[in-house]
Amino acid sequence: MKRIATAFLLFALLTAASCGKNPQPGKDTFKTPVYASGEKQGHITYQLLIYTFADSNSDGIGDFKGIESKLDYLDGLGVSAIWLSPAHPSDSYHGYDVTDYSALNPDFGSEADFRSLLDAAHAKGIKVYMDFVLNHTGKGHPWFAEAKRSVENPKFEWYHISSDPATDIATHKFPMLTGYYSNEWHDVTVGEIGYVGRLHFKVDFSGSVRTLTVTESSEAAQASNTDSSVNMFLWIGEPGKAVRMYKTGNSIYEITMDVDSPWGVLVRTSDTSWDNGTKWGAPKGKNVLTFGEPLALSTDDAQDILFGAAQSMKFQGAFGSWMPDINFGAVENACTSEPFKALAASADKWIDMGVDGFRLDAVKHIYSSEKGPENPAFLKQWYDRCNTNYRQSHDSDIYMVGEVWMSASEVAPYYEGLPACFEFDFWERLKWVLQQRTGCYFANDLIGYRKTYAAVRSNAIPATKLTNHDETRAATILNKDIQKLKQAAAFLMSAEGEPYIYQGEELGYWGKDSDDGGRDELVRAPIVWDKVYSAATKKLDGHFDMTMLNDEISVAAQEADENSLLRVYYEWTHARNSCAALAGGKMSAHSKYNNNNTQDKTVAAWYMTASDGSKALVLHNVGSSAATLSLPDDKLSDEVVSLGSVSVSGSSVELGANSSVVFKQ
């Protein structure tokens, strides 16, 4: 990727001081912006998915080396930090069911590759944030495997596991849980399973309830029945094999045999067909067999019938049966719990390696009372623990941002525990503004959110964004309207907060997530750098939209197109980084064009004022036709950045449809 010409670099340095207008290069003269050391003051973070961002070895999977190879792109986009999707080993493509917090997914590269990425990013002034999952582990984590071995195993207490969850919650055995919700509790067998020895099996299909009775036996073992007219089988062993039983009565079948099975048995009425009611097992939640007692069989969702000294129990997992929630105990002692200490030790490893911060997943779910005081209190303990280690080698505090998917007023208490939280209401308000073409309330709403946060934490950091990997894409919501997408970028880069750009948003990617009738993979599509065939698609297992992933939407094509969405992102991120008022300013309402002026409802206007006193006027017209604004008290001579049609005449400015401008004051 070409670097900026010396003359343009000099211009960028001058605009950093003057907050003057950015250059608007033509199609044939565009060069990716380059920032001098310390120039990126806009606090812009780029969210990327390791597995689909950039593939360095053509195996179809994004990796650390791929990210490192694209740091020039990220630098040119003006980002000062990148948030990596989960980098740890896991059982799923997305990585949120972690199986080892102290390791890296080998699909992404080695620790040496990761260290190289950290060093290269830091050399460009780009910090690296890891995604860290505190709410749950993956079902395949060794901690959970140990927990299942025995109720006496120390790690049994690291999760919420119970034979009677409703009673245990009612009697406060699980202080993290405030209520019993059956959909959050999933079957688990606790104890050693399997059997080696001689057993007698009796299947009784003579009544309305079909049963299996198994007893330990000293009788002679029998070989599998050779009478092909008998269609009753045991499926047993590892690997499994079908053993034909003997008919000993009316719909009664028996066999005595030597067993070596690490799990148990199933009953089958066919040795060739598995479906259509031929598989009989235990009813859900009752799959541990007791010798000598008939077990009622089920063909609906038949479960393995397990041998051994095991118990059928339930574990709690708010996100499903593959992600068991962690038990930190009562919040006042959470930091002394064993899982807390184990997770903190893993975080220490990455901090010591050079990671600059963490994005914390699903923090409102750690303690089940989403609006109670427990989660903020827990997060304060977590932040303080990580920051103590971080400050041993840094002069500043560690960065940490929480995913609190709630309204601004509900997010505010979480600032008691964390310095930054994602502001989901930013996009909720902005998409309404763009869809309804009504901008007059936007600034007042955001200013109100910030006052709410400040009441809890004076230096609260709202992490603003459009969409993320769990949401339907902005382009889909805005019907692929390129003018609205461009203006969404302008809003994001001109408002108070620290903005995040989600991978592909700068290219206009679209897609519906599973909540809107699509698939999550469709909003996690790979970056097309120049040619679509080189995109990292393997982890998505074919679930991506080839009508979108084409060479025309690529980075290379959009960099060459002066009218592209990507070029707007370059322009507005550079403006934010170069202008102190945009970069770190506080929003204040405009005296005329504000929530009380519904006559000019298409106009969103506010001031941004930096701590050094520098000030900028931000104007957006979200209407479908031009708007003329009379601004006798504002300076209109020093334009910082603009979008669309902007015309100044004396103390008036005309903004075309979906047009925006920033003036230095």
Q: Are the C-beta atoms of 134 and 176 separated by less than 8 Å? A: no
Question: What secondary structure does DSSP assign to 113-149, as a single string?
Answer: HHHHHHHHHHHTT-EEEEEEE-SB--TTSHHHHHHTT
Instruction: Report the 10 Å Cβ neighbour count for 216.
Output: 12
* Cα separation, 536 vs 93, whole angstroms: 12
Ramachandran quadrant class, 635 (left: phi over 0; alpha: psi -120 to 50; beta: rest):
beta
Task: Indicate which residue of 63, 68, 325, 403 is catalytic.
Answer: 403
* Cα separation, 62 vs 79, whole angstroms: 20
* Residues paired with residue 494 on neighbouring β-strands, in sequence order: none
Q: How many residues does the chain have?
A: 665
Q: Retrieve residue 184's tokens.
A: 């959050």
Cβ contacts of 473-477, under 8 Å, gap ≥ 24 = 473/504, 473/505, 473/509, 473/510, 473/511, 473/512, 473/523, 474/427, 474/431, 474/505, 475/508, 475/509, 475/510, 476/510, 476/511, 476/512, 477/431, 477/435
Helix (H, G, I), strand (E, B) or coil at 530: coil
Instruction: Report the 10 Å Cβ neighbour count for 650.
Output: 9
User: What's the Rg (C-alpha) of the chain?
Assistant: 30
79 burial type by CB count under 10 A (0-12 exposed, 13-18 middle, 19+ buried): buried
* Cα separation, 201 vs 216, whole angstroms: 9
Q: What angle do CA 564, 565, 569 make, to 5 degrees?
A: 120
Strands 461-463 and 420-422 come out as parallel
Ramachandran quadrant class, 375 (left: phi over 0; alpha: psi -120 to 50; beta: rest):
alpha
* Sign, Cα dihedral of 11, 17, 18, 19: positive
Task: Indicate which residue of 113, 204, 361, 496 is catalytic.
Answer: 361
Q: Retrieve residue 616's tokens.
A: 């900028």
Helix (H, G, I), strand (E, B) or coil at 290: coil
* Sign, Cα dihedral of 119, 121, 124, 125: negative
Told to judge if 403 belongs to the known catalytic residues of this protein, a careful annotator would answer: yes
Helix (H, G, I), strand (E, B) or coil at 656: coil
470-491 burial code (b ≥16 CB/10 A, e <16): bbbbbbbbbeeeebbbbbbbbb
Helix (H, G, I), strand (E, B) or coil at 108: helix
369 burial type by CB count under 10 A (0-12 exposed, 13-18 middle, 19+ buried): middle
Told to judge if 361 belongs to the known catalytic residues of this protein, a careful annotator would answer: yes
Report CA dihedral (121, 422, 619, 475) to the nearest 10 degrees.
Answer: 80
* Cα 146–chain centre separation: 27
Q: Are the C-beta atoms of 347 and 339 separated by less than 8 Å? A: no
Q: Are the C-beta atoms of 587 and 52 separated by less than 8 Å? A: no
Q: Are the C-beta atoms of 49 and 95 separated by less than 8 Å? A: no
Return the active site residues. 361, 403
